[in-house]
Structures are given as C-alpha cells and as structure tokens.
Amino acid sequence: MKRARLLPGLALIVLAALAPVSCSSDEQAANGDPVAGKRLFAAQGCDGCHTFKAAGSKGTVGPDLDDASPNPRRVLAQLRKPGGIMPSFADKLSDDEKADLAAFVGAGNASGKAVAEPFAPDDKRLADCRDGNTECLEQAFGNLVFNDGPKPALDRLQSMMTSDAAVAGDCHRIAHRMGSAALARFKDKVAPAFVAGSAVCASGYYHGIVERAFLGQPTARLAVVARQLCSDPQITEQRFLFYQCIHGLGHGLMIYTGYDLPGSLKICDDLRTGFDRVSCTGGVFMENFNSSYGVTSKYLRKTDPIYPCNSVVERHKLYCYLLVTANLLRVTNYDQAKTADLCRRSEKPWVKTCFESFGRDVSGIAGKSASKALAGCRLAEANEGDCLYGVAREIVNADAEGERGGRLCARAPARHRAYCYEGVGSVLAALEPIEQALTARCRKVSGRHARSCLRGAGLVS
C-alpha cells in the first residue's frame, strides 16, 4: 500500500502571491543562453581582447572580465552602447545574441547560468588531480560518471571524501558536475539519471541533474519545466527520489535565475501539491544560504544573519529556519557555540526549528563521528532534543537507511531518545513506501523505542 504523506507544518500554509521582481533588461539578460554565448564569445572575437576564464581566453586589450565581473545587465549595456576602443556590436548582434553573451559573461556575477553548462567529457582522470585542483577533480569525477556510470563513480566519491581533503571540501560541487555528466550519459533523460544516483554529499548529484535540465529554458517557461521535471513515474514511485528531485528543483531554480529568491519561491508556490511546494522551497533557501557556486546571494545580510527568515511570509518561514544555520555557521566562522547562541536569539516561535537545522549541520560537520554530533548538540542546552532530532534525520537521509541513525539515538541522553527515534522514523517513512516494510525497518533500528520511530513515521499517534 502506498501512502501520500504530507510533511508536518503543511496545514499552516496560507496561499498568497509574491510580487514579481524583474525589470525588462534583467529579464532579457537572464533569458540568454550561456552556451550559445560561449560560442559567440569566440566567434565574435571577444576572446582576442579579453581574458575570461570560462572561455579560456587570454586577451589583454580590454579589461580582464574575471576581475571586472560585470553582471548580465552591464554586459548588455556594453554591447548595446560600447565606450572607448571596444568595437561596437550594437548592430552586429541580434538582441538574442546580446542576451546570450550577457548570460555567459555575466554568469559569475549574477546568474550562475554558465556554471550549469552541459558536461563535456574529456580524458582527465583522478590521478591527474593530485594537486587537489577543484576544477580538475570536478571534471575527472564527471568523466567517471560519463564512462562508467553514476553508481561506481558516486561510491568512489563517497570513499575519497574520507581520505582526501580536497575532495571532501569540494564534494558538493563535484557531485553537481557528476549529475550534469549523468545527464550527458543518459542523453538528457532525467529519470534514469536520477534512479542511478545517490544522495552523497548533500545530494549534489541530484541538484546537478535538475539544474542542468533547466539549461536553455527562458524564464517564462521555468514554471512549466519545473512542473514536468519530476513527474516521470520512475521518479514519482520512489518517495525519496521524488523528494530529491523536487528539492533539487529549488536549488536549480535559484542557480538558473541568478539567485532570484522571490522569483524562485514563486515558482515553487505554483507547484501542484503541498509536498512539492515545501520541498522546492527548502532547496531554494538552501541554495540561498549555501550557494553551490560560491555566489553571495543578495538575500543575505551581514548584520542580520537570520535574514531572510525573519522577513519572508509566514508560510516560507518553516523551510527558511530549517536551513538557516548554514548561514549562521558561516558568519560565526563555523563556531558551533556561537551558532547556538544565534539560534536562541532568533524569532521565538522558530527557535526550536533553528536548533533542528543546527542538528543537521552539526551532523554534517561531525561526519561519521557520533561522539562529535552528540557533543555539538549539548551546546544547544535546552534545545538539545531538537538538535538530536535534526542529527537523526540528517544521518538517515544521508545513508538512505536507518541503522546508523538508530545507533546514534541509542547513545543520546535518555530524555531525548524518544524524540531522536521519531526523527529516524520521519525520514524512513520517506524512504519506504510500503507500510509493512516501514514498520519492520523501524522495529529493526529502534528496538524497544520502535513506537517512537513509528510515531515519527506517521504510523501511530
């Protein structure tokens, strides 16, 4: 028997419209195709005068475009009305071509689109990347996926994350590139690429697939593409994959729209079900706080690390707060005690949620060390239980099984154990659609706390 289960908090969702945010020039720049832009950059001789890493060019007549880092609007303006000695392209290029160039050249500053380029396999191997060069690693892992398939490549990534600091540090972006490579291997078919994947390193592989699937789509069509993207039965049949797809959608939307938070949230809001909407929203906020491409979103404030959670509409707060510690940890330089302090000072009704988010990040930082995760959660003091709940969920999500999460809960302080097992159950429920099998899995990993696990799974009250 299959059950469509809603995430807690959904009943609170109130519908309201968000104002659209782009002006026409932004819109046009954002609509360009960065891949076509890359071709034009060479064909039009831009490369002869400009140094630009993404194009592999080393011209020195004009400014270095990596240093200048113009946004798409600035590039458009330059092409429409050049100054100084740069030749005029105003009449030479069509509006579309100008937009394509703007999307390509402006990507580093605002849109991030060029980073979602299609994967181009070459003969780079992991052995060539001994110096820890991240571009080399991303390409080499991508080649592994393209040649050998996602499964062995992702296993390799998982094992190298524990033995190689450069791989561990860049694993999310590596996994993104692997997702893009999988789409190339499976000839742009999202479903087989998804089914063959894994959630290693915060699901970067799934995000990479989705982000790449948007490529070349005009902004006006994003909502339609978004609704279709995860609808293949191969994906919808598996709750876990379905979640990864919809959540990846949120990441992809942010990257593709140039970190346009309100615009991305609006597309999430238009998805079909409540589950779709909140999963997508979570991806949007995660990408906002923790850009896959090192972009600093304009929806972050140095002096107010809780922002935008304290300013978004009520229905978006839950998923904002569930991810806010990604930002708090960054501003505190990964000081867990200071991060816990900031959680305590967030909006009262959301302190609990902030600590659940804290737990997820504490677990990520602790890696496989249960002791470190438990120590991190002690910093949460009165909210230790919320933190442990977050840890349990993160572990089960990362493993796609409950054993390690169950062992963690067994070591948690007795008063928090039940809630910890609820966390285990809540994620197991997303992994296991068959009720009987879910019950068996809860029993197996939580022993005499099975009832708590089952409660978390929504099977008992």
In angstroms, the CA 188 to CA 33 distance is 17
The burial of 16, by beta-carbon neighbours within 10 Å (0-12 exposed, 13-18 middle, 19 or more buried), is given as exposed
Q: Report, in Å, the least distance between residue 293 CB and ligand HEC.
A: 20
Largest CA distance in the chain: 77
Angle at the Cα of 287 (from 332 to 346), degrees rounded to 5?
45
* CB contact burial 124-143 (16+ within 10 A = b; e otherwise): bebeebeeeeeebbbbbbbb
Residue 116: its H or E element? none
Q: Is 105 in the site for ligand HEC (CB under 6 A)?
A: yes
Span interacting with ligand HEC, options 59-67, 316-324, 392-400, 405-413, rule CB under 6 A: 59-67
Judged by CB under 6 A, the residue of 62, 150, 258, 402 near ligand HEC is: 62
Residue 85 CB, shortest distance to ligand HEC, in Å, is: 5
Residues 6+ apart with CB under 8 A from 175: 141, 154, 157, 200, 201, 202, 203, 204, 205, 207, 208
Which residues make Cβ contacts (< 8 Å) with residue 36, sequence separation at least 6? 97, 100, 104
**Contact between 61 and ligand HEC per CB under 6 A:** yes
Distance CA 198, CA 238 (A): 13
According to CB under 6 A, which one of 39, 74, 378, 444 is a site residue for ligand HEC?
74
The DSSP annotation for 347-394 comes to: -GGGHHHHHHHHHHHHHHHHTT-HHHHHHHHHTTGGGHHHHHHHHHHH
Q: Which is nearer to ligand HEC, 54 or 457 (CB)?
A: 54
Q: What is the DSSP letter of 57?
A: E
Residue closer to ligand HEC by CB (options 105, 254) is: 105
Binding of ligand HEC by 75 (CB under 6 A): yes
How remote is the C-alpha of 37 from its chain's centroid? 25
Helix (H) or strand (E) holding 276: helix 274-289
Stretch of 2-10, 77-85, 233-241, 390-398 contacting ligand HEC, by CB under 6 A: 77-85
Nearer to ligand HEC, 59 or 274 (CB): 59
Nearer to ligand HEC, 102 or 254 (CB): 102
Measure the CA–CA gap between 300 and 307, rounded to whole angstroms.
6
Compare residues 23 and 85 and give the one whose CB is closer to ligand HEC.
85
Beta bridge partners of 52: 57
User: Among 244, 199, 273, which Cα is nearest to 6's?
Assistant: 273
Element at 182 (helix H, strand E): helix 171-185
What distance in Å separates the CA atoms of residue 354 and residue 343, rounded to the nearest whole number?
Answer: 6
- Interface pick for ligand HEC out of 8, 20, 56, 87 (rule CB under 6 A): 87
In the complex, which residue's CB is closest to ligand HEC?
A: 84
73 versus 247: smaller Cβ distance to ligand HEC: 73
Q: Does 36 bind ligand HEC (CB under 6 A)?
A: no
Which of 70, 150, 250, 433 forms a contact with ligand HEC (CB under 6 A)? Answer: 70
* Residue 431 near residue 238 (C-beta atoms within 8 A): no
**139 touches ligand HEC by CB under 6 A:** no
CB nearer to ligand HEC: pick between 106 and 385: 106
With respect to ligand HEC, which residue has the nearer C-beta, 83 or 233?
83
Query: Which region, judged by CB under 6 A, interacts with ligand HEC, from 84-92, 126-134, 239-247, 382-390?
Result: 84-92
94 binds ligand HEC (CB under 6 A): no
Q: Indicate the residue among 106 and 308 with the shorter CB distance to ligand HEC.
A: 106
Q: Any contact of residue 52 with ligand HEC (CB under 6 A)?
A: no
User: Reduced to 3 states, what is the DSSP secondary structure of residue 97?
Assistant: helix
Stretch that binds ligand HEC, among 25-33, 61-69, 366-374, 439-447 (CB under 6 A): 61-69
Stretch that binds ligand HEC, among 2-10, 68-76, 329-337, 398-406 (CB under 6 A): 68-76
Q: Is 72 in the site for ligand HEC (CB under 6 A)?
A: no
Q: Least CB distance from residue 219 to ligand HEC, whole Å?
A: 21
Given candidates 7, 13, 36, 86, which one binds ligand HEC under the rule CB under 6 A? Answer: 86
One of 30, 57, 89, 100 touching ligand HEC (CB under 6 A): 89
Q: Which window, 67-75, 126-134, 371-379, 411-419, contacts ligand HEC (CB under 6 A)? A: 67-75
Token look-up 């160039």 returns 101
| Binding site residues, ligand HEC, CB under 6 A | 44-46, 48-50, 61-63, 68, 70, 74-75, 78, 82-87, 89, 101, 105
